[in-house]
Amino acid sequence: MTQAWDVQVRRDDLRQHRQVALPAAKDVVIADGEVLLGVDVFALTANNVTYAVAGDMMNYWDFFPAEEGWGRVPVWGFGDVVQSQAEGVDVGERFYGYFPMASHVVVAPTRVGPQGFTDGAAHRQHLNRVYNSYQRVSADPGYDPAREAEQMLLRPLFMTSFMLDDYLADSEFFGAEQVLLTSASSKTAIGLAHLLHGNRGDRIAVIGLTSERNRSFCEALGCYHSVVTYPELESLAASAPSVVVDMAGDAPLRSRIHQHFGKALRHDCMVGVTHWEAPAEQTELPGPKPEMFFAPTQIQKRASDWGPGGLEQRVGAAWTTFLGSSRDWFEVRHERGADVVVKRWLEALENRLPPSCGQLLSL
């Protein structure tokens, strides 16, 4: 029988890792009310690096506790019920949700309904419900077994993209005429650029900031009005009222943006940390104070504003359009094994996963 594994990283040094052997799923003993989910496949993107870098600040390490000093990086994927002691959740059912990089995980379903359930484990009670929900694929009208890859790799990121687009529009773009997206080749940035360009491209210029290596890729996407490499930042008109949506988390780059635009920079929206090893900020920045964007906050606001099903309907329509466009630039790679998971994790840390690649992994 194939060995079951749990891949963990050091919380204070994300390059340090270990492969912890787990008991086979058939040998795991679960309590009344619990379910054992076998993790069939999960996605790995720069977003998972953000989860790890912000693990302490945003409580991402709390979803799947590990031994002191170690962390289990959350990933989005599909799991199948291997054992069940919970009413309403049957062996063999397939769910989409938040998992560790492991062969299996125990959850405690609550709020069980036709759409799925919420993990009611005690250690997850203080965490955002968005990440605690598991969706039953048999009840998801948008589920397509042939498009599971896109759902894992793009859907969670597109949700952030959608809420960012909604947040900026709701704020009337803070009076800006253009939006700058750092790490323009990241999937969250691409999703946001797609929405901005498609919905408001005649009024708001969408500018991608990226490395020279990824310039041609970003230009070919067709969702950026212009693509500028990081060394070329100062070539942009400094007087143009601007908003920056920062996926990079690169303090020196952020400082350059603030220094260049000054008062013309109307808002600095912090989202990701693809440049997670960049030096920390040392000086006070001119212009607006950077503000962290947390998608679940905007999700809760719109769920209240738009009523039952309103958010899902809007996101679903936008997702369908974006999904169609992704066929032009998106390729899927699915690999198996604990050693491969570690290798791809280290590549993600080094920002070496090709932007056109959708990386799927199984243990």
Say if residue 130 is in the same domain as residue 175.
no
Domain boundary pick from 296, 317, 352: 296
Distance, CA of 77 to CA of 144 (rounded, Å): 14
Is 280 a domain residue? yes
Mean pLDDT score, 136-143: 84
Say if residue 187 is in the same domain as residue 287.
yes
Is 34 a domain residue? yes
Say if residue 80 is in the same domain as residue 186.
no
Residues 6 or more apart whose Cβ sits within 8 Å of residue 324: none
Query: What is the percent of the chain with per-residue pLDDT over 90, rounded to a whole number?
Result: 68
Say if residue 211 is in the same domain as residue 338.
no
Residue 269: is its pLDDT beyond 70?
yes
Residue 156, classified by CB atoms within 10 Å of its CB into exposed (0-12), middle (13-18) or buried (19+), is buried
Is 345 a domain residue? yes
pLDDT value for 175: 95
pLDDT value for 147: 87
Say if residue 89 is in the same domain as residue 216.
no
185, 166 Cβ separation under 8 angstroms: no
Say if residue 191 is in the same domain as residue 286.
yes
Domain count, the chain: 2
- Going by C-alpha positions, the residue among 202, 301, 292, 204 that lies closest to residue 243 is 204
List pLDDT tens digits, range 348-361.
998 888 888 889 99
Q: What is the DSSP string of 292-317?
A: E--HHHHHHHHHHHH-TTHHHHHHHH
- Going by C-alpha positions, the residue among 256, 261, 311 that lies closest to residue 281 is 256
Name the CA radius of gyration of the chain, rounded.
21
**pTM recorded for the entire structure:** 0.84
Query: What is the percent of the chain with per-residue pLDDT over 70, rounded to a whole number?
Result: 96
Cα torsion through 311, 316, 318, 319, rounded to 10: 130
Domain boundary pick from 296, 321, 339: 296
Say if residue 85 is in the same domain as residue 189.
no
Is 95 a domain residue? yes
Dihedral sign from CA coordinates of 217, 218, 223, 225: negative
3-state secondary structure of 44: strand
Please tell me which residue, 50 or 235, carries the higher pLDDT value. Answer: 235
Is 308 a domain residue? no
pLDDT value for 275: 52
Residue 307: is its pLDDT beyond 70?
yes
Please tell me which residue, 6 or 325, carries the higher pLDDT value. Answer: 6
Say if residue 189 is in the same domain as residue 274.
yes
Give 133's pLDDT tier (boundaries 50, 70, 90). very high
pLDDT value for 155: 87
pLDDT value for 264: 96
Say if residue 87 is in the same domain as residue 208.
no
Say if residue 170 is in the same domain as residue 116.
no
Domain boundary pick from 254, 273, 296: 296
Distance, CA of 272 to CA of 257 (rounded, Å): 16
Mean pLDDT score, 158-183: 94
355, 38 Cβ separation under 8 angstroms: no
70, 11 Cβ separation under 8 angstroms: yes
Say if residue 111 is in the same domain as residue 172.
no
CATH code, domain with 180: 3.40.50.720
pLDDT value for 343: 96
On the CB side of 302, CA atoms within 13 Å amount to 21
List pLDDT tens digits, range 176-223.
999 999 999 999 999 999 999 988 878 899 999 999 999 999 999 999
Say if residue 239 is in the same domain as residue 357.
no
**What are the percentages of helix, strand and coil residues in the chain, rounded to 5?**
40, 30, 35
Is 322 a domain residue? no
Is 313 a domain residue? no
Quote the domain boundaries for residue 257.
Answer: 156-296
CATH code, domain with 10: 3.90.180.10
List pLDDT tens digits, range 210-251.
999 999 999 999 999 999 999 999 999 999 999 999 988 888
